[in-house]
Chains A and B, each alone.
Chain A
Amino acid sequence: MNVDTLTSFIAIMLVGMVPRAMPIISAATGELVDQNAGILNLGVEGLMLIGTIVGFLTDFYTGNVILAFFLAGLSGLLLSMLHAFASVSLKADQVVSGTAIWFIGWGVSGVIYRALFRKFLVPPTISPLPHLNIPFLSTVPVIGPIIFGQDAVAYFIIAVLIATHYFLFHTQAGLNLRAVGEDPRTAEEMGVNPKLYRYAAIMFGGFMAGIGGAYLAIAITGTFYYNLTAGIGFIAVALIYFGKWKPFRTLLGCLIYGTVYLLFLTIQTHFQSIPYQFFAMWPYLAILIIIAAVASRSRAPSSLAKPYEKGE
C-alpha cells in the first residue's frame, strides 16, 4: 500500500468519523456543563433516546429538520428537569435518579416509536441531512471534506461547544457556575444561587443530549431502532472524565473515540469472515483503557454528585 492510498484511506475514514462523533460531542458538551456545576447526570442515555425519537418523528412527519432538532432538544430538556427536581430540590442520590431517567427515556422512546410505526413492516427512513459543502474550502485535499464538508447541525454543535468553552471560562455566569461546582457554600455566600445554576445546567445538558440523539437518527442512520444509542450517552460521560471537564479536551476525546470506532468498523469490512460484533466491542474497551490511563491525574469538581444543603 503506498502513501496515496493510505492517505485517502485515512481521509475516507475521518470523513465518516466526524458525523459519528457528533452525537457524543453534543451530549458531552451538555453534560460537561452539568458536571462543572457539580451535578452528575447519568440519564444522558435516556435523554438522547428521547431526542432520537422526537427528532426522527418530527422529521418524518413534517420534513422540517430545524423543527425536528428543536423539539428533540426541548424534549431532552423537559425530561432532564425530573433529574433536576430530584437531585437539586430533593437532594436525592444522583446516581439512582440518573439511572431512572435512563430507563424512562429508553422505554418511552421505544413505546412512542412502536405506537406510531406499527403499521410499517420495515422501519421507515428519512432522507439524511445534506452536507453543507463550503465552497472551495471543502475541496482542499484530505482535510477539506472532513472539516468543511459537514452538515449544518454538526457546525451548530461545534459552535455550541466553542460557545460553552467561552461561557465557562470567559463569562461571569460561567465563573459562577464553576464556583458552584467546587464549593456551593462559598458561591452562595458570594451571592450566587446554587440551585438556579444547577437547574440551568441540567436543562442545558438535557437540551444538548436531545440534539445529539436527534442527530444520530436524522444525520447518521436515517432511521430509528430500539436502543439506537447503544451506550454512547455513557461514553460521553466517560469522555468528560478524559477531557478533565474542559470542552476542547473533551472534544479531543470524542474525536479519538470516533476514530477508534471507525477504525474498528473499517477493519471489520476487510475481515468479513469475522462477525462484526467482535469489532463492535472494542470501542467500549477502549473507553475503559482511556479512563484508567487518565485516572490519577484527573480532578473532578469538588462538589460533584454531592447534594447541597443550604446553610451547610
Chain B
Amino acid sequence: MVAYARVFLIVFFTLLAVFLSSLLFLLFDLSPIAGLISLFQIGFGSRQGLISTVGGAVPLLIVAVGLSVPFTARVWNIGGQGQFVIGSIAATWVGLELAGTLPPGLIIILAMFGSFLGGVAWVLPPTLMKIRLGINEVITTLMMNFIAVFLLDYLIAGPMEGAAAAVSHEPSSAPIPSSLLLPAVVPRTNIGVGLLIAFLLALGLFFLLKFTRLGYELRVIGQSHDVAKYAGIPIARDILLSTVISGGIAGIAGMVDIFGATGILLPQVFSDITTSYGYVGIPVALIASLNPLAIIGSAIFFSGILTGTYGLELAYGIPTDVVTAVYGLVMFLAPLGVYLSLGKRRLTLAKAKQ
C-alpha cells in the first residue's frame, strides 16, 4: 500500500513540477496549458516525436541505470557526464583506428569495451580520493566532468579533427564509417541495437541491485555505515565496485550515442543540458527511486519532455533551456513530495518508540 502511495506521489509531484515550469512559457507569449498540451502531443503523440523520444531515451537510460548503483549506497557520482564523454572518445577512437581491419561486429564490441574502460578510468581518481582520503565525491567527480568536456573539445579541434571540420570550421571528429553504426529499425537512431543494449543493462542492473549480494550490501551501506559494519560488509570495496560499474556503464552510454545516433564526435563545452546525458541521468535515476526498471519509464518521460520542447522551439521559439528548469524542478519537488507525506509518518513512529 505504501509503495503505491509513493509512486502516486512521485508522479504527482513530477507533473506539478512540469506544470510550474510551464509558467515560463508566459515569457514567450504562450499559455502554459496550450504549451503543455503541445509538448505532450509532440513528445509522445506524433510518430516523429516518439522516434525522437525513444531514441533519445537510450543513452539517458543507460547512464541512469548505471547511476542507480552507487546512488543506492548514497555515493553521489555526479561525474556521469565526464565518464560518458570519455567513453564516447574511446569508442570513436577505436572505431576510427580499426575501421576496415576487422569485421564490424568485432570492432563494435571492442569499442564497447574501450568505452567501458574509459568510463572506469574517469571515475577511479575521485573514488580513490573518497576511499583513501575521505574527500566528498561530488566535487571531485564534477571537476572530472569539466576536464573531460574540455579534453573532448580539444581533441576534436586538434588531434582528432575530421576532414570535414577543417573546411567548415565547425569542430568535429571524423565520422565513423557507416558500417559500424549499430543496426537500427529507424536509421541513425538508437531504436535498434542501442535500445536492446539499454534494456539488457536495465534488466541486468535491476537483477544486480535486487538479487545479488552486492546489491544487498549497497542498500545497507546507503542506510547506515554503522549497520553495515555490524553486518561485516566491506564498505570501501563495495563503494569502489559500485562506482566502477556506474563509470563504465556511463562510458558505454557514450559509445552507444556515437555508434547509434550521432556517428561523430561533437563539441560539448557550451552545449546545453539537453544532450548532457550524464547530468540528466541524475534526476532520471532519482525520480525512479533508483529502480532500473522504473528508470526505463522515467528516461522515456524525460526524453519525451525534451522532444516536446524541441517541438515548442520550432513552433513558438521557446528555448530548450526550459527543459533544464523542468528537470531541476522535478528533481527538487518529487523527492520532497514523498518525504513530506511519508516522512512525517516515519517521524511520528520514531518518536513514539523512544
Q: Which of A109, A118, A238, A280 contacts B150 (CB 8 A)?
A: A280
Q: A42-B138, A99-B331 are in contact. Are A92 and B24 (CB under 8 A)?
A: no
CA distance in complex: A141, B33 (Å): 63
| Secondary structure of the A contact surface, majority rule | helix
Assess whether A295 is in contact with B134, with CB atoms less than 8 Å apart: yes
B273, B279, B325, B335: residue with the most chain A Cβ atoms closer than 10 Å: B325
Q: CB-defined interface of A128-165 with B at 8 Å, one 1/0 digit per residue? A: 00000000000000000000000000000000000000
Q: CB-defined interface of A292-304 with B at 8 Å, one 1/0 digit per residue? A: 1001100000000
Assess whether A92 is in contact with B335, with CB atoms less than 8 Å apart: yes
B183 within 8 A of A: no
With an 8 Å Cβ cutoff, the count of chain A residues facing the other chain is 54
A113 to chain B: which residues have CB within 8 Å? 321
**Contacting residues of chain B (295-354) with chain A, CB-CB under 8 angstroms:** 317, 319, 321-329, 331-332, 335-336, 339-340, 343
Q: CB-defined interface of A262-290 with B at 8 Å, one 1/0 digit per residue? A: 00000000000011011011001101100
A114 within 8 A of B: yes
Assess whether A231 is in contact with B142, with CB atoms less than 8 Å apart: yes
Of A64-72, A100-108, A169-177, A197-205, the segment with at least 4 beta carbons within 8 Å of chain B is A100-108
CA distance in complex: A230, B149 (Å): 11
Q: A114-B321, A287-B143 are in contact. Are A106 and B273 (CB under 8 A)?
A: yes
CA distance in complex: A91, B328 (Å): 19
Assess whether B143 is in contact with A104, with CB atoms less than 8 Å apart: no
CA distance in complex: A110, B21 (Å): 13
Q: A106-B328, A291-B140 are in contact. Are A111 and B343 (CB under 8 A)?
A: no
B151 to chain A: which residues have CB within 8 Å? 277-278, 281
Q: A97-B332, A103-B331, A295-B133 are in contact. Are A111 and B139 (CB under 8 A)?
A: no
With an 8 Å Cβ cutoff, the count of chain B residues facing the other chain is 53
Q: Which of A96, A231, A234, A275 contacts B286 (CB 8 A)?
A: A96
Assess whether A277 is in contact with B269, with CB atoms less than 8 Å apart: yes
Q: CB-defined interface of A67-94 with B at 8 Å, one 1/0 digit per residue? A: 0000000000000001000100011110
Assess whether B139 is in contact with A238, with CB atoms less than 8 Å apart: yes
Assess whether B328 is in contact with A100, with CB atoms less than 8 Å apart: yes
Assess whether A108 is in contact with B153, with CB atoms less than 8 Å apart: no
Assess whether B28 is in contact with A107, with CB atoms less than 8 Å apart: no
Q: A226-B270, A275-B157, A288-B143 are in contact. Are A82 and B332 (CB under 8 A)?
A: yes
A55 within 8 A of B: no
A95 to chain B: which residues have CB within 8 Å? 76, 138
A237 within 8 A of B: yes
Q: A82-B332, A106-B273, A296-B133 are in contact. Are A90 and B340 (CB under 8 A)?
A: yes
Assess whether A226 is in contact with B321, with CB atoms less than 8 Å apart: yes
- Closest chain B residue, CB of each to CB of A95: B76
A10 within 8 A of B: no
A256 within 8 A of B: no
Assess whether A107 is in contact with B327, with CB atoms less than 8 Å apart: yes
B147 within 8 A of A: yes
Q: CB-defined interface of B120-136 with A at 8 Å, one 1/0 digit per residue? A: 00000100010001110
A112 within 8 A of B: yes
B146 within 8 A of A: yes
Assess whether B146 is in contact with A107, with CB atoms less than 8 Å apart: no
Assess whether B331 is in contact with A100, with CB atoms less than 8 Å apart: yes
**Contacting residues of chain A (25-57) with chain B, CB-CB under 8 angstroms:** 42, 46
Q: A107-B324, A112-B27 are in contact. Are A277 and B331 (CB under 8 A)?
A: no
A115 within 8 A of B: yes
Assess whether A107 is in contact with B323, with CB atoms less than 8 Å apart: yes
Assess whether A115 is in contact with B143, with CB atoms less than 8 Å apart: no
Q: A107-B273, A107-B323, A284-B147 are in contact. Are A100 and B153 (CB under 8 A)?
A: no
A116 to chain B: which residues have CB within 8 Å? 27
B135 to chain A: which residues have CB within 8 Å? 241, 291-292, 295
A193 within 8 A of B: no
Q: Which of A100, A108, A114 contacts B332 (CB 8 A)?
A: A100
Assess whether A281 is in contact with B319, with CB atoms less than 8 Å apart: no
- Closest chain B residue, CB of each to CB of A239: B139
Q: A111-B27, A226-B270, A285-B147 are in contact. Are A277 and B332 (CB under 8 A)?
A: no
Assess whether A234 is in contact with B143, with CB atoms less than 8 Å apart: yes
Q: Which of A93, A107, A235, A241 contacts B325 (CB 8 A)?
A: A107
User: How distant is B95 from chain A, measured CB to nearest CB, in Å?
Assistant: 22
B78, B125, B319: residue with the most chain A Cβ atoms closer than 10 Å: B319
A227 within 8 A of B: yes
**Contacting residues of chain B (191-239) with chain A, CB-CB under 8 angstroms:** none
Chain B interfacial positions (CB closer than 8 Å to A): 21, 24, 27-28, 74, 76, 78, 125, 129, 133-135, 138-140, 142-147, 150-151, 153-154, 157-158, 269-270, 272-273, 279, 282-283, 286, 317, 319, 321-329, 331-332, 335-336, 339-340, 343
Given contacts A111-B325, A234-B143, A278-B154, 6 further A-B contacts (CB under 8 A): A103-B325, A107-B21, A109-B321, A112-B27, A226-B272, A241-B139
Q: List 10 A-B contacts (CB under 8 A).
A: A90-B343, A92-B335, A110-B324, A111-B319, A231-B145, A275-B158, A277-B154, A288-B129, A292-B129, A295-B135
Which 10 pairs across A and B sit closest by C-beta, in order of nearness?
Answer: A103-B328, A110-B321, A107-B325, A107-B324, A104-B328, A114-B319, A281-B150, A100-B332, A277-B154, A115-B27
